[in-house]
Amino acid sequence: MSTAHDAPGTTPIASVRDGLFFTLPEPLPVGRHKLSADHVGAAQRERLLAACCELMAAHGYRGFGIGDVARRARVSLGAFYRCFDGKDACVFAGYDRFIEVLIARLTGLDVEGMSRPRIAAELVDTYLDVMQQDVVVARAFQVEIDALGAPARERRRTSLTLLARYLQELAGGEDDDLPWSAYLGGVYAVRQLAVDALDEEPRPDLSRLGADLRPWLEDLFRVR
């Protein structure tokens, strides 16, 4: 996303990584063109999602408005309201995309034949790697999203519970000797450590965090 609309004298706003969570379309042609209304609408929506994410990562939820999103996406206010009912709708649409992509990456792992500790470590490494690949999106939807209150917390609980259930299904087996709380607690702990790293450092080393967590994961998920 272009930084052309950053305020003079301020640090340029970082862009999302194209093609991971959001795919940025080419600028739409000016004047008459043969693109369908659906094509134009989808392109504008994608640009708005990315712009909203970038602004939230840089300024926090309360630090920008709909006009800022439209300017950064280079679309009109009318185009914004054709895509979203308001700012929260845009933020949550981006958050839902974030969860969708993240879960797809995690559930796409081939863990056949791996031990329970190895499965847990592979899932954690993949989660942290995806966060590292796009720190802008990670900061927006792991740190700043909390400002949206109860709806954000509900989405977070749902997604973390889903991931913990998936880990339990993969690693637990028929003779699982770990309680459900071990899986859920492990997922929550890893997320919170990642959130703290994203909140404290402009360029966190999440791969190092994964390496530091391995001994703990091996102990937590070892076969008793």
Q: What's the predicted TM-score (pTM) here?
A: 0.90
So what's the pLDDT on residue 3? 44
**Average model confidence (pLDDT) across the chain:** 91
Tell me if 50 sits within 8 A of 73, measured CB to CB.
yes
* Better-predicted residue by pLDDT, 98 or 170: 98
With CA atoms as reference, report the closest residue to 18 among 55, 56, 50. Answer: 50
Q: List pLDDT tens digits, range 40-99.
A: 899 999 999 999 999 999 999 999 999 999 999 999 999 999 999 999 999 999 999 999
The predicted pLDDT at position 4 comes to 41
Instruction: Count Cβ atoms below 10 Å from residue 18 Cβ, excluding itself.
Output: 13
Q: What is the pLDDT, as a whole number, of residue 210?
A: 94
Q: What percent of the chain has pLDDT over 90?
A: 80
Length of the chain: 224
Among 4, 54, 44, CA closest to 24: 44
Burial class (CB in 10 A: 0-12, 13-18, 19+), 220: middle
pLDDT band of 156, cuts 50, 70, 90: very high
User: Quick one: tokens of 185?
Assistant: 């607690």
Structure tokens at 166: 């998936």
Q: Which residue has the tokens 């699982």?
A: 176
Is it the case that residue 8 has pLDDT exceeding 50?
no
Partners of 18 in the β-ladder: 22
More confident residue, 27 or 90: 90
User: For the chain, which residues make up each domain, given as ranges?
Assistant: 91-220
